[in-house]
Amino acid sequence: MQKCSSESRLGRPKDAAKHTSIVEAATRLFVSQRYDTVTMEAVAAEAGVSKMTVYNHFSDKEALFEAVVHDVSDRMLGGLPPTGAENLPLRERLSTIGASFLRIIVNIHVAGMAHALPTVLHDDLSLKTRFYNAGPGRTRTVLAGIISEAAARDELIVDSSELAAQDLMSLWAGDLQARIAFGVVKPATDREIKKRARRGTDVFLRAFGKTGKREPS
């Protein structure tokens, strides 16, 4: 798969605002349509620029899609872990990270890109890995570290901090990703997201919390 965009050949874009506008327009189209139906002409129209301008920034549709994936990945990286979460008690800290994680996976851009990646970039493992690492992968790494530290403080009993982190993420998400894939999920309110994150955290602490060390509900 060719990954060379006009940016790599010509240096930085001449017009950063147009570059951003093109990426945002492409994101909206790639999320709402099948990859093969999105054209550079449609992206240009959505962004309010000429087709030539799009090609001045991106050599082809694959390069543009790659830029979209990187942009969405950067957004995910910016949200985890939440600022100040490291100062909270364990239960609150995990619940706060859980809410941030759920906001990411229900985000229409993230859900849409995650749905498109396996089929569109089936030969580009590095880009798919980057996308995963920016969201679920980063969350898992952060959680594993927190769980390991809590176990060292004798707050948790776990056989593997990595596996325990995966367990906690599953408790948070439940069948949410499956419902997203089937298109039956409704936009969750922030209150619903926080409630889901808190419930998953509470179940996790009941399973792994050391007797007498659990925080009050």
Give the residue-averaged pLDDT of 49-78: 87
Q: What is the pLDDT of residues 109-166, one digit of tens each?
A: 666 666 666 666 667 777 777 777 777 788 888 899 999 999 999 999 999 999 999 9
Q: Are residues 63 and 116 in the same domain?
A: no
pLDDT digits (tens, 9 = 90+) for 56-65: 999 988 889 8
- How many domains, in total, are found in the chain? 2
Q: Is residue 217 part of a domain?
A: no
- Considering the domain architecture, whether residues 126 and 161 belong to the same structural domain is answered as yes
Residue at 152 is within a domain: yes
173 vs 108, residue with greater confidence: 173
Is residue 73 a part of any domain in this protein?
no
On whether residue 49 sits in a domain, the answer given is: yes
Q: Are residues 25 and 124 in the same domain?
A: no
The mean of the pLDDT values for the chain is: 82
Q: Is residue 167 in a domain?
A: yes
Q: Where on the phi/psi map is residue 183: left (φ > 0), alpha (ψ -120 to 50), or beta?
A: left
Whole-angstrom distance, CA of residue 118 vs CA of residue 128: 8
Average pLDDT over residues 69-98: 83
Please check whether residue 213 lies inside any domain of the structure.
no
216 part of a folded domain: no
Alpha-carbon gap, residue 99 to 196, rounded angstroms: 8
CATH of the domain at 148: 1.10.357.10
Which structural domain range is residue 52 located in?
A: 6-67
Return the sign of the alpha-carbon dihedral for residues 202, 83, 21, 67: negative
Rounded Cα gap, residues 141 and 152, in angstroms: 17
Whether residue 110 is found in the same domain as residue 159: yes
Q: What is the 3-state secondary structure (H, E, C) of 114-161?
A: HHHHHHHCCCCHHHHHHHHHHHHHHHHHHHHHHHHHHHHCCCECCCCH
Q: Are residues 204 and 111 in the same domain?
A: yes
The verdict on 119 and 179 lying in the same domain is: yes
* CA 167 – CA 207 distance, rounded (Å): 10
Could you give the 3-state DSSP secondary structure of residue 209? strand
Structure tokens at 49: 């620029």
CA pair distance 158, 194, nearest whole angstrom: 25
At 8 the pLDDT is 44
74 belongs to a structural domain: no
CATH number of the CATH domain containing 52: 1.10.10.60
